[in-house]
Amino acid sequence: MRLSFTGVGTALITPFTKKGAVDEQAVRKLAARQIEAGVHFLVPCGTTGEAPTLSNEERRRIVELVVNEVEGRAMVLAGAGGYDTREVIRSIAELEKTGVHGILSVTPYYNKPTQEGLFQHFRAIAERTRLPIVLYNVPGRTGCNIEPATLARLAGISNIVGIKEASGNMTQMAEYCTVVPPEFIVLSGDDALALPLMSVGGKGIISVIANEAPAELVQMVEAAERGDFTTARRWHHKLFALMQVNFVESNPIPVKYAMARMGLCEESYRLPMVPPKRASQEKILAVLKEFGMPVATETRA
């Protein structure tokens, strides 16, 4: 087991039953499938896991299930972020009891903090937990951005160990890699930018596509880690259409639809997430078939 959050981390979907409850059996099966494929760490209860619609009790239970399923075979990085610093600290304290290995914490959304507010928010969280923290920068969803100078300050806090960068701004991503210490982990939050980021010093990906094609993405990232960018590019080109179609509508709608059609979970979302439009469904299915994925006629658990 890797002792850091590098390589491929899967931003796990949260499977629900047809009645809308967390499907605990499916949570276990999906986690086991990831480990069997060689994924390096798992990330439950993030954006792809529909975290905003999970109760605190559900979040803790999902993380507990994943930790117990992997049984020390991989690291688990649990999502715990929000716009109320005190509530984030309380949530992390509950997650600590599950045996989780680290916390992925998104920037506060809606209240649009300043750069100093971001620094103070994450410093307050770090001071209240023993767990390592990976920051999550996704300005397209949160309305705020961790600037490189702010990241350099945050990287000086001992248990802030990395960042998932999903701004889509390659210039900023490259600058991140230059302003942090060598041991600090810069991860792509966009599948399509994982390989470019790794070429300038990034250390992997927290991935959506790994839900569908975990073993294939591991091949790409491990090749890049070895410096074999010829092989890594081959995998990138093979996976690229699937990377793109996962965002034909808002994440996690396409990936959840795809996994349901692959027979891995029920096609069940929580509002305000809804099933993809018919045109999007056809695009997703076409890419799955082209990739050679088994596609069920009807969705099943």
Q: What is the pLDDT tens value at each position of the chain, 301 positions in all?
A: 777 899 999 999 999 999 999 999 999 999 999 999 999 999 999 999 999 999 999 999 999 999 999 998 999 999 999 999 999 999 999 999 999 999 999 999 999 999 999 999 999 999 999 999 999 999 999 999 999 999 999 999 999 999 999 999 999 999 999 999 999 999 999 999 999 999 999 999 999 999 999 999 999 999 999 999 999 999 999 999 999 999 999 999 999 999 999 999 999 999 999 999 999 999 999 999 999 998 876 544 4
Structure confidence at residue 296 (pLDDT): 79
Task: Establish whether 164 is a catalytic residue.
Answer: yes
Alpha carbons within 13 A on the beta-carbon side of 45:
30
Structure confidence at residue 298 (pLDDT): 54
DSSP state of 153: H
Nearest to 214 by CA among 50, 34, 18: 34
Nearest to 173 by CA among 193, 150, 143: 193
**Domain ranges (residues) in the chain:** 7-219
Choice among 18, 112, 164, 283 that is catalytic: 164
H/E element, 65: helix 56-70
Structure confidence at residue 300 (pLDDT): 43
* pTM for the predicted model, two decimal places: 0.96
Bond into 252 cis (ω within 30): yes
Architecture of domain 7-219: Alpha-Beta Barrel (3.20)
Choice among 112, 136, 283, 289 that is catalytic: 136
Structure confidence at residue 297 (pLDDT): 64
Structure confidence at residue 299 (pLDDT): 45
209 neighbors 39 (Cβ within 8 angstroms)? no
